[in-house]
Amino acid sequence: MNIDTCRFCPVRLQGVCGDLPTPEITLAPAPVQVMAAGQDLFSQGEPCRQVFMILDGWVCLYELLEDGRRQILHFALPGDIVGFRPDSRSSPFGAQALSQVCLCPISRSRLVEAAQANAGLAFRLACMLYDDGAEAYERLTSIGRKTALERVATLLLELFYRLRRRVPLSRGETLQIPLTQTHIADAVGLTAVHVNRMLGLLRQKGVIEYGNGVFRILAPSRLFEIAGADAQVMAGRPAEPMSRHLHSSSSCIQAGPLSH
């Protein structure tokens, strides 16, 4: 069952498993798991024994303050793992499904053991963690130093490029994003009302179109300018983040079309 699951894993080479020989893939003893949108994979402060690899759908990591203020830390896409910790203490943040998601649960302790024994695996893990950190840094300068309009534009571009890396967008520049404006607000440190105004402004400028969870980028170059020049970094990136470049997977991965 596991072996079979792994053999057909849609994100096999993108994820931590990488090119582990099939018989060695004992990372995932539990069967694939499906969760509905809105469910928590794990909650803030929970012990968190499972690491989840996302096979399909979107997940966000978030942190809550006592009075209910929420910060979204990261949007995780298929191929990403969430919930990894080197130790077994409780997680300082929670993880919530933004759409229906399909997950491959991995025992944390098992993954840690395997990583301590297998340099390739540990290094892939390090690369994924590096990517997460680099993304967090980008978001930090966005939230810390950019205006509301710039922040919203930056987030759209970030999602745009991250999605594009996985799925070559076919017609035009359309993003299927399962986010409400409140999600966007919590990710960029604004209120939903103000995010709405900024989106309206972008729409009015003819830079984007949206409705129904579908965003269409009409003028990527203008979005670029608006987002601030450091966003050029994103465009400079290769089609896949570096963690994907490390193993031999030359070209095998084609994620199917997103269809939430």
Partner DNA sequence: CGCGGGTTTGACGCTGATCAAAAACGGTGG
Partner DNA sequence: CCACCGTTTTTGATCAGCGTCAAACCCGCG
| Helix spans in the chain (H) | 2-7, 108-117, 119-145, 148-166, 181-188, 192-204, 220-227, 232-236
Residue 111 CB, shortest distance to DNA, in Å, is: 33
Segment interacting with a second copy, rule: CB under 8 A, options 4-12, 23-31, 136-144, 195-203: 136-144
Residue 71 is a binding residue for a second copy (CB under 8 A): yes
Residue 168 CB, shortest distance to DNA, in Å, is: 26
Contact (CB, 8 A) for 255 and 167: yes
Residue 116 CB, shortest distance to a second copy, in Å, is: 5
CA-CA-CA-CA torsion for 20, 242, 110, 115, nearest 10 degrees? 80
Cα 58 from Cα 97, distance rounded (Å) = 6
How does DSSP classify residue 8?
T
Chain residues binding DNA by CB under 7 A are: 147-149, 180-182, 189-194, 196-197, 199-200, 211-212
140 binds, among DNA, a second copy, none (CB under 5 to 8 A by kind): a second copy
Q: Which residues contact 126 (CB under 8 A, 6 or more apart)?
A: none
Residue 40 is a binding residue for a second copy (CB under 8 A): no
Q: Determine which residue in the list 8, 119, 212, 259 makes contact with a second copy, applying CB under 8 A.
A: 119
Residue 130 is a binding residue for a second copy (CB under 8 A): yes
CA terminus-to-terminus distance, the chain: 26
Residue 244 is a binding residue for a second copy (CB under 8 A): no
Cα 225 from Cα 246, distance rounded (Å) = 32
Q: Determine which residue in the list 189, 197, 203, 260 makes contact with a second copy, applying CB under 8 A.
A: 189
Vertex 154 angle, CA 231 and 165, to 5° = 70
- The site for a second copy (CB under 8 A) is made up of 61, 63-66, 69-71, 73-74, 84-87, 89, 92-93, 112, 115-123, 125-127, 129-130, 132-134, 136-141, 143-146, 186, 188-189, 228-230, 233, 242-243, 245-246
